[in-house]
Structures are given as structure tokens and as C-alpha cells.
Amino acid sequence: MHKSSFFLRDVKTYFKTIWIIVAPILLSPLIFFGDEGRCAFCILVMSCYWVGEVVPLAVTAFLPLVILPALGVLSVKKIAESYLTDTNMMFVTSLMLSVAVEECHLHKRIALKMLTFVGARPQWLMAGFMMITSFISLWISDTACAALMSPIAYALLEAIMIHKMSPLPRNGDEIVLQENGEMKRAEATTGLDVSRLSKRDRGICKCLMLIVAHASLIGGTGTINSTGPNLIFRDSLEK
């Protein structure tokens, strides 16, 4: 029993090293099936490394620069040209723009400004969030937009639902309690407990989160740089 537990612990400790070595060895027979097999070997090794996350994802993405020339499939020059196409550079630029928006909290400013106009009524709240998310998704990646807007939607729902559920008077971040005529203070409970919500409120929460996801996709169809498939489609048309 102790030996097996020690063995499992060692495997967990050296899992990444084992995965890096074993995956190419198991896939090595593909090398003997011509250029197609060698390309399949490169793709499958990259897939194994990506799934296991044994090396940084960016390092895995550059493995073809090493594997394919070493196997005699393509030259380094031809492979490097695929990495530096205008499509890839535009995609990298859109990711940089996403990081810039996140760092300066521009998405929060736009969302809060819009919500001051639409108010807290569910139908206007959802319409406002859809417009905000779609607009932001026009300029940055739709995936990044959904990742940026989801915490804002959750925080907004949390504030609205906690305010609706709590009948107690509040003083800043504290709840004032009365017991035997004496005032006591307790920290306010944070977090959104979905089980305590009514069926209608749960529906509102689900709907708003789905709106963020779908509005990101809708906005992603508006410009070329807003999602990866648009860039790939444009590149295919030009070729």
C-alpha cells in the first residue's frame, strides 16, 4: 500500500517530464509513413502537449519550427512565413487591444455609463447589456469580450438580488441588527445564493449571463478582427 502511494506521488511529481518524453516515443511509428505521417506526428505531439499543458502553450505553438524541418517535411523559411501572415498579426493586434481595454477598465466605464441610462428594470437591463457587449465585441475578440463582461454581469446581479433579499437596514458594508433594544453590527453577507432566489429571479440571472455570451458572438460577426474565424475566412478568400 505504501509502495503504491509513493509510486503515485512520484508520478504526479514527474508527470510533465514523463508526458514530454513518452508522447513522442509512442507516436514515433508515424514518422515511417511518408510526409503525411510526419505531419500527423507533429500535429499529434502538439495536441498531447496542449492537452497535458506540460509546456507553455506558446512554446508548443512553435514546435513545427523544430519538428517539421528536422523530419525534412518543410524548410524553416516556409514554416516561419505561416507564423507572420497579416492575418496572424491582425489577430495578435486584437489580443493586444483586449489587454489594453482590460487594463484601463474601459469596458467597466462603458457598461456603468450605459446602465445609468437604462435603469434596473429587467427588460431594459438586458437590452442595455446586449448593446454594450455587442459594441465592445466589435473591437476586441468575442471570447475576450465575454470574459470581460461576465464578471460585471455577475456583480450587478449579486448587488441587485442581495438588495432585494435583505430586509435589514444597511450601513455601508455592515448590517445593523437590533436585539433587546441594543444595536449590534455584523458584516454583510456577500455572494449570490441562487437557491434562495425565486423562479423569476433565477430566470433573470440565467438570461443575463446567456445574453453576455450570445451578444459577444453577435458583435463578433461585425468586424474582421473581432473573432478568429473572420480572419481565417478573409485569408482564404484572398488566396
Whole-number Å distance between alpha carbons of 137 and 132? 9
Whole-number Å distance between alpha carbons of 218 and 206? 18
pLDDT bin (cut points 50, 70, 90) of residue 12 is low
Show me where the domains of the chain are located.
Answer: 2-83, 90-238
Helix residue spans in the chain (DSSP H): 2-13, 15-27, 34-52, 57-61, 64-70, 76-83, 86-104, 106-118, 122-137, 142-165, 199-220, 228-238
pLDDT bin (cut points 50, 70, 90) of residue 205 is confident
Q: Yes or no: say if 213 and 206 are a contact pair by the CB < 8 Å rule.
A: no
Q: Is the pTM of this model over 0.95?
A: no
Average pLDDT of the chain to the nearest whole number? 74
> Which range has the worst mean pLDDT, 26-40, 88-102, 186-200?
186-200
Nearest-CA neighbor of 159 among 192, 128, 185? 192
The DSSP result for 91-115, as a single string, is HHHHHHHHHHHHHHTHHHHHHHHHH
Question: By percentage, how much of the chain surpasses pLDDT 70?
Answer: 76
pLDDT at 149: 81
pLDDT bin (cut points 50, 70, 90) of residue 179 is very low
pLDDT at 187: 41
What are phi and psi for residue 166, nearest 5 degrees? -90, 115
pLDDT at 124: 83
Whole-number Å distance between alpha carbons of 45 and 24? 6
Contacts for 6 with CB less than 8 Å, ≥ 6 apart: none
Sign, Cα dihedral of 96, 102, 105, 109 = positive
Which strand ranges, in their side-by-side order, compose the sheet holding 170-171? 170-171, 174-179, 182-187
Higher pLDDT, 1 or 219: 219
pLDDT digits (tens, 9 = 90+) for 63-116: 888 888 888 888 888 888 777 777 677 777 777 777 777 777 777 777 777 777
